[in-house]
Amino acid sequence: MAKINGAALIAKCLKQQGVKELFGVVGIPVTGIAKAAQDEGIRYIGTRHEQAAGFAAQAVSYIRGHVGVALTVSGPGMTNATTALGNAWSNCWPMVLLGGATDLEYTHRGGFQEAPQMAIARPFCKWVGQPTRAEDVPRMIEHAFRTAWHGRPGPVYIDLPGDIIEATLDDAGLAMPAQVAPPPRMAAPPELVAKAVETLRAAKKPLLIVGKGSAWSEASTEVRRFVERTDIPVLPTPMGKGVVPDDHPNVVSAARSYVLKNADVILLAGARLNWILHFGAAPRFNPDVKVIQIDLAQEEIGTNVPATVGLTGDLKAVMTQLVGQLEESPWECDPKGEWKKGLTAEVAKRKAELKPALESNETPMGYFRPLNEIQKVMPRDAILVAEGASTMDISRSVLENYFPKKRLDAGSWGTMGAATGFALASAVVHPEHRVIALMGDASFGFSGMEIEVAARYKLPITWIVFTNGGIGGGVAKPQQNGQLPVNVYQNGCRYDKVMEAFGGKGFHCESPDQLAKALQAAFASGETALINVAIAPTAKKAPQTYTHWLTR
């Protein structure tokens, strides 16, 4: 009878579930799993820190519309990945984390790197499990994939004790569950679809907010069809960008504050009324706003603002229903009405306000001109990973996305340190697309060592670091109390040299011209390259109307 060990069995199950790549950090007791995965034809990418492996796995999930997997060693290795679990939980993204664990034999006896790993993972996970017999591995892995992917997506954790990984068992007769099928697309009750269209019909100032749930649902065609049929103004959330192309005439991102404040009916499509959307509350929103909410998760309907109509279902399916309903009873946003006229004027005003900053030749540079240089050369189908506070926020208003799932950023959790893992995953899954990872120097510091991974695996990612010298910028010199300001870094850091040290290309720029040349050379090199963009330590965003808690 053929024998198989636990590591090979785990790898076989991952293959069976359609896993194409595995991100991780090897060591006791999981090295055998990574090697066995390679033997199964799964591409193994070794990161420098488990957190990056976790971020990469969830980005694989999001980009592929499937379930990505990360592998860690026990104890500190596993706990290093818990921030990634938190990020997946917060973004409603699936992923499977496989954590090596102390042998069952040594558990509760002070075993090597023993830790309460299941308890640590549990608050962020839809499910956690630990096989106590190697025979249980196949059904647990199937359960993990199904749970992470079906329903509202989220992370799951499997704890893998060393003696399960090393166990030998008979291959023959092992029950191998089938690959988990994609979740069925659930439709909303037809009477509520009709009510949604009636609610829109009564609107004077309707607005469609497109969130990353629309991207996850791959509903871009249906959402665009809805927009074209209704001529409704569209506001994407940060990662909802690209579901409707940013240069579509109905996209009103430039007038974000204006539309949120004035809309009387909002169709909320795969977005939550959480902090990103100011809880749907006044003064950012019209206090009498009616919300038609589409979400996969029934319990999300009505969060923070009671929904006038709650359409529980898959976005692609529900959008198809709405378009069908509009065929029966057409409705269109009045193209000549006050709402459209006001919006057109507001968008034009906001764009004109930005123009001087976008075209400024000033040095040291602010944020806007270098972002404009990037926008000029960024291919339409590029994948943009954006992270940092001001760098990321401002990039949203300058860098356009034209396709769904082409912007990944700090997301619902505002997580710093995710960008490198996201960029690695993007380059692995989509080698045919240009991957640009834009970061502030603060965010780069959280996971900058991962650029070595890009050099090692020859992933031609273009890393762009906006260096302003600290968290919110600044200069490292002692202040009156004799100490350095709490937010600053070493002056004049040259992150491009770190890239060169790892075998990639490095560029340093202090002017728009230098940046334009560096971008051209970086793209032409076909290698991973880091462009260090020195910007003013005092560079700021445009003044905000609402400064209350968000800018606290």
340 phi and psi angles, rounded to 5 deg:
-65, -40
Of these, 129, 131, 206, 240, which contacts ligand ADP (CB under 6 A)? 240
User: Considering CB under 6 A, how many residues would be counted as binding ligand ADP?
Assistant: 24
Q: Does 260 bind ligand ADP (CB under 6 A)?
A: no
CB of 407 to ligand ADP, least distance (A): 10
Return the ∠ at Cα 394 (arms to 502 and 421), rounded to 5°: 35
Q: Does 152 bind ligand ADP (CB under 6 A)?
A: yes
Q: Which stretch binds ligand ADP (CB under 6 A): 210-218, 225-233, 362-370, 402-410?
A: 210-218
CB of 403 to ligand ADP, least distance (A): 16
Cβ nearer to ligand ADP, comparing 272 with 508? 272
Cβ nearer to ligand ADP, comparing 277 with 499? 277
Taking phi first (over 0 means left), then psi (-120 to 50 degrees means alpha), and beta for anything else, what does residue 370 get? alpha
Cβ nearer to ligand ADP, comparing 100 with 213? 213
* Cβ neighbours of residue 532 closer than 8 Å, sequence gap 6 or more: 465, 467, 493, 494, 495, 496, 506, 507, 508, 509
Distances from the Cα of 390 to the Cα of 191, 254, 467, 543, 546, angstroms: 44, 17, 11, 12, 16
Q: Does 165 bind ligand ADP (CB under 6 A)?
A: no
Answer for the pair 377, 515: CB distance below 8 angstroms, yes or no.
no
CB of 236 to ligand ADP, least distance (A): 8
Cβ nearer to ligand ADP, comparing 184 with 287? 184
CB of 94 to ligand ADP, least distance (A): 10
Q: Which residue has the tokens 């053929």?
A: 2
Of these, 314, 373, 393, 400, which contacts ligand ADP (CB under 6 A)? 314
CB of 393 to ligand ADP, least distance (A): 14
CB of 311 to ligand ADP, least distance (A): 9
- C-alpha of 240 from chain center: 10
Of these, 82, 91, 390, 467, which contacts ligand ADP (CB under 6 A)? 91
Q: Which stretch binds ligand ADP (CB under 6 A): 80-88, 207-215, 396-404, 487-495?
A: 207-215
Q: Give CA–CA dist 245/238, Å, rounded.
A: 13
Q: Does 271 bind ligand ADP (CB under 6 A)?
A: yes
Of these, 12, 66, 126, 212, which contacts ligand ADP (CB under 6 A)? 212
CB of 319 to ligand ADP, least distance (A): 9
CB of 272 to ligand ADP, least distance (A): 3
Q: Does 295 bind ligand ADP (CB under 6 A)?
A: yes
Answer for the pair 116, 152: CB distance below 8 angstroms, yes or no.
no
CA neighbours closer than 13 Å in the CB half-sphere of residue 328 = 10
Q: Which stretch binds ligand ADP (CB under 6 A): 23-31, 161-169, 232-240, 497-505?
A: 232-240
Cβ nearer to ligand ADP, comparing 401 with 412? 412
Q: Does 407 bind ligand ADP (CB under 6 A)?
A: no
Q: Does 404 bind ligand ADP (CB under 6 A)?
A: no
Longest dimension (CA), the chain: 78
Q: Which residue has the tokens 């070794």?
A: 46
Distances from the Cα of 335 to the Cα of 221, 232, 248, angstroms: 22, 9, 15
Return the ∠ at Cα 401 (arms to 465 and 499), rounded to 5°: 20
Closest CA to 125 of 88, 99, 161, 76: 88
Residue 264: how many other CB atoms lie within 10 Å? 15
Q: Does 296 bind ligand ADP (CB under 6 A)?
A: yes
Of these, 235, 315, 382, 418, which contacts ligand ADP (CB under 6 A)? 315
Q: Give CA–CA dist 4/300, Å, rounded.
A: 44
Q: Does 187 bind ligand ADP (CB under 6 A)?
A: no
Cβ nearer to ligand ADP, comparing 192 with 297? 297
Q: Does 412 bind ligand ADP (CB under 6 A)?
A: yes
Q: Give CA–CA dist 394/195, Å, rounded.
A: 38
CB of 320 to ligand ADP, least distance (A): 12
Q: Which stretch binds ligand ADP (CB under 6 A): 70-78, 166-174, 266-274, 388-396?
A: 266-274
162 phi and psi angles, rounded to 5 deg:
-55, -40
Q: Does 96 bind ligand ADP (CB under 6 A)?
A: no
Q: Which residue is nearest to ligand ADP (CB)?
A: 213
The tokens for 106 are 């040594």
Q: Does 29 bind ligand ADP (CB under 6 A)?
A: no
Q: Does 393 bind ligand ADP (CB under 6 A)?
A: no
SS3 (DSSP) at 507? strand
Q: Give CA–CA dist 416/52, Å, rounded.
A: 11
Closest CA to 342 of 241, 263, 235: 263
CB of 210 to ligand ADP, least distance (A): 8
Q: Does 321 bind ligand ADP (CB under 6 A)?
A: no
Q: Does 235 bind ligand ADP (CB under 6 A)?
A: no
Answer for the pair 380, 433: CB distance below 8 angstroms, yes or no.
no
* Cβ neighbours of residue 372 closer than 8 Å, sequence gap 6 or more: 358, 359, 398
Q: Give CA–CA dist 187/299, Å, rounded.
A: 16
x-or-dash pattern for ligand ADP, window 357-376, by CB under 6 A?
A: --------------------
Of these, 80, 113, 117, 217, which contacts ligand ADP (CB under 6 A)? 217
Q: Does 280 bind ligand ADP (CB under 6 A)?
A: no
SS3 (DSSP) at 10? helix
CB of 401 to ligand ADP, least distance (A): 13
Binding site for ligand ADP (CB under 6 A): 91-92, 152, 211-213, 216-217, 237, 239-240, 270-272, 274, 276, 294-297, 300, 314-315, 412
